[in-house]
């Protein structure tokens, strides 16, 4: 009797386990409500949360359609990798042109994606600014101040973070575009990274290192992240704008292979176009991103203040299009064995490996 009971229990356990595995692996499709997944980069959580709820209302009002927008956040490159590996994102809003392009290369985003939406698929742009401790005790005002003796700089790892890549490009350009030679710009980066005590893997981790753990004297970060960080610190931190910085272009794109398969082509398109409208541009500006519509920019220009922004194409003068620009930047700075790796080889490579 007992044996039979045990046998039955065991059988039910196995059956239950099998059913559970099959059920949870099954693709859920609730059918009625259209849903969109936006795979975004790390520091844009607050922005998308606000835009999504307003867009949902907007779509219901204008077209009587209901849509549910889900968000996924992570490092820009890891998000791109997730989409390539099969994350069902309908749109991607990543920090780097090269990440969006990598998805295109796999055939998931249509040819010519950069030109499909207004303003080269840029509803907003941003830049890299400095955050310093209250009262700016080390008197940091410009890029050369970052390589002074004893100044410690926090910026995430350019290999793994969009923020890190933009910081490096901004620092490099600050030398090159003020008449420095490329050798001088290389040397500047080397001195800069010699003063970096921690290489966090993502933008938010670097923010925590700087503001919560109070490591370092200057934090190189996205402009919007800087505002959030300063607000969060309640007076312990302040923003410093260098006179020149990089024009960071976080492109948006529809992952057309996914929208076609999921039947969300129109909603995804409406979502992307909504970003350029007055309402969204307002939200963008209030989240400290730089809106690209002329009207919104005219309204908020004074808020963002004087700051010369250079596009990264100026760091690769020979290149004719974005693809060539980013290929050249990748090869020169970020690829295996390129400048960033060489800097670390030089800084710490002497450490003996037994």
Partner 1 sequence: MSRIARRVLPGFRLSLGYTVFYLSLLVLIPLVACFLKAAELSWAEFLQAAWSARARSAYWLTFECALVAALVNLVLGLVVAWALVRYQFPFKTMIDALVDVPLALPTAVTGLVYASLYVQDGWLGQFLVPLGLEAAYTKLGIVLVLIFTGFPFVVRAVQPVLAELNIEEEEAAAVMGGSRWQTFRWVIFPNLFPALLAGFTLAFARGVGEYGSVVFISSNMPFKTEIAPVLIVSRLEEFAYREAAAVAVVMLGFSFLLLTLISLVERWSKNHEE
DSSP alpha helices (H): ranges in the chain? 2-25, 45-63, 76-84, 97-105, 113-116, 118-121, 162-176, 182-194, 203-211, 223-233, 256-262, 265-274, 278-286, 294-304, 322-329, 339-348
Least distance from partner 1 to the Cβ atom of residue 132, Å = 17
Contact 40/73 with Cβ under 8 angstroms?
yes
Structure tokens at 210: 């700087």
Least distance from partner 1 to the Cβ atom of residue 256, Å = 20
Least distance from partner 1 to the Cβ atom of residue 73, Å = 15
Least distance from partner 1 to the Cβ atom of residue 199, Å = 4
Q: Which is nearer to partner 1, 143 or 334 (CB)?
A: 334
Exposure b/e, 176-208, CB count within 10 A at least 16 = b = beeebeeeebbebbbbbbebbebbbbbbbbbbe
Maximum Cα interatomic distance, the chain, rounded to a whole number of Å: 90
Q: Which is nearer to partner 1, 273 or 346 (CB)?
A: 346
Least distance from partner 1 to the Cβ atom of residue 274, Å = 30
Interface ranges with partner 1 (CB under 8 A): 3, 75, 77-78, 80-81, 84, 102, 157, 159-160, 197-201, 205, 208, 212-215, 334-336, 341, 344-345, 347-349, 351, 353-354
What is the C-alpha to C-alpha distance for residues 55 and 275, in angstroms, rounded to an integer?
9
For 38, 48, 182, 273, 292, the CA distances from 279, given in Å and listed in that order, are 19, 13, 43, 11, 13
Polymer length in residues for the chain: 354
DSSP of 310-346: E-GGGGSTT--SHHHHHHHHIIIIISTTSHHHHHHHH
What contacts 24+ positions apart, CB below 8 Å, involve 183-187? 186/339
Q: Which is nearer to partner 1, 75 or 173 (CB)?
A: 75
Q: Which is nearer to partner 1, 76 or 322 (CB)?
A: 76
Q: Which is nearer to partner 1, 73 or 299 (CB)?
A: 73
Q: Which is nearer to partner 1, 222 or 276 (CB)?
A: 222
Chain CA centroid to CA 71, Å: 14
What sign has the CA pseudo-torsion 221, 223, 70, 104? negative
Least distance from partner 1 to the Cβ atom of residue 272, Å = 24
What is the C-alpha to C-alpha distance for residues 180 and 175, in angstroms, rounded to an integer?
5
Least distance from partner 1 to the Cβ atom of residue 232, Å = 15
What is the C-alpha to C-alpha distance for residues 177 and 317, in angstroms, rounded to an integer?
11
Least distance from partner 1 to the Cβ atom of residue 344, Å = 4
Q: Which is nearer to partner 1, 61 or 234 (CB)?
A: 234
Q: Which is nearer to partner 1, 316 or 338 (CB)?
A: 338
Least distance from partner 1 to the Cβ atom of residue 345, Å = 7
Neighbouring CB atoms inside 10 A of 140's CB total 21
Q: Which is nearer to partner 1, 6 or 298 (CB)?
A: 6
């Amino acid at each position: 009797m007992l044996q039979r009971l045990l046998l039955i229990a065991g059988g039910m356990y196995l059956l239950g386990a099998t059913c559970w595995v099959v059920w949870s692996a099954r693709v859920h499709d609730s059918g009625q409500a259209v849903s969109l997944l936006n795979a975004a980069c790390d520091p844009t959580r607050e922005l998308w949360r606000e835009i999504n709820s307003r867009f949902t209302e907007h779509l219901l009002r204008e077209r009587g359609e209901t849509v549910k927008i889900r968000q996924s956040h992570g490092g820009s490159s890891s998000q791109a990798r997730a989409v390539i590996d099969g994350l069902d994102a309908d749109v991607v809003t990543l920090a780097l042109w090269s990440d969006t392009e990598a998805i295109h290369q796999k055939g998931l985003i249509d040819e010519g994606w950069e030109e499909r939406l207004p303003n080269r698929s840029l509803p907003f742009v941003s830049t890299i600014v400095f955050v310093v401790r209250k009262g700016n005790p080390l008197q940091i005002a410009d890029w050369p101040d970052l390589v002074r003796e004893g100044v410690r700089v926090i910026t995430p790892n350019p290999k793994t973070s969009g923020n890190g890549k933009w910081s490096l490009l901004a620092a490099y350009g600050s030398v090159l575009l003020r008449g420095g030679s490329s050798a001088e710009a290389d040397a500047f980066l080397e001195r800069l990274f010699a003063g970096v005590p921690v290489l966090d893997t993502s933008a938010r981790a670097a923010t925590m290192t700087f503001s919560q753990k109070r490591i370092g004297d200057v934090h190189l970060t996205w402009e919007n992240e800087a505002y959030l960080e300063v607000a969060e610190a309640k007076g312990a931190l302040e923003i410093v704008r260098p006179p020149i910085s990089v024009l960071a272009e976080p492109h948006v794109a529809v992952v057309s292979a996914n929208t076609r398969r999921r039947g969300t082509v129109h909603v995804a398109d409406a979502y992307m176009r909504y970003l350029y409208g007055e309402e969204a541009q307002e939200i963008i500006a209030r989240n400290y991103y730089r809106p690209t519509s002329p009207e919104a920019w005219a309204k908020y220009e004074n808020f963002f203040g004087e700051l010369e922004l250079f596009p990264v194409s100026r760091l690769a003068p020979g290149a004719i299009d974005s693809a060539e620009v980013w290929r050249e930047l990748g090869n020169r700075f970020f690829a295996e064995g390129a400048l960033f790796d060489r800097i670390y080889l030089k800084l710490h490579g002497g450490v003996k490996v037994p």
